[in-house]
Amino acid sequence: MKAHIVRDPRCALLWRFDADSAGYAGVERAARLCGVTLRTVGNAELGTPVGNLCAGKPPVAAAPLDTVPELPALIVSGLSHQTGELGRFIDLVRESGADLPLRAMVTPTSKTWTLAALLQELNREHEAVAGGSEKA
């Protein structure tokens, strides 16, 4: 019997970053070169698990009332760090000039989190790093 390997979808979720944002064309180019599907997400998707969003499943009907950060975010799924494809994608995104201060790779744990929960965690981490660098 052959093992069935399930790969995470090659997807990048974009929060507060769309076709009108500076650098979007470069992010779109990076996604095309790396075989990544771009998906813009908004308030309607906040209550949906991140893994479902990456897989293209419809959002959960009710969005949570949680406060989420306004900082733009890039959440990447399905690219391997070991093969260098994640690094290549991130390098291309940086070269695009896109301002995406919150970035994350979907993990087995975070793919079960709602988009709101992941964005809140990314914002906490960003504030901790920014606060630490200001004191140095």
Q: What confidence tens digit (pLDDT) does each residue in 6-49 have?
A: 578 999 999 999 999 999 999 999 999 999 999 999 988 999 99
Distance (Å, whole) CA 118 – CA 7: 21
The pTM of this model reads 0.88
Which tops the pLDDT comparison, 60 or 46? 46
The total number of residues shown for the chain amounts to: 136
Phi, psi of 86 (to 5 degrees): -65, -45
Parse the chain into domains and list their residue ranges.
Answer: 11-104+112-135
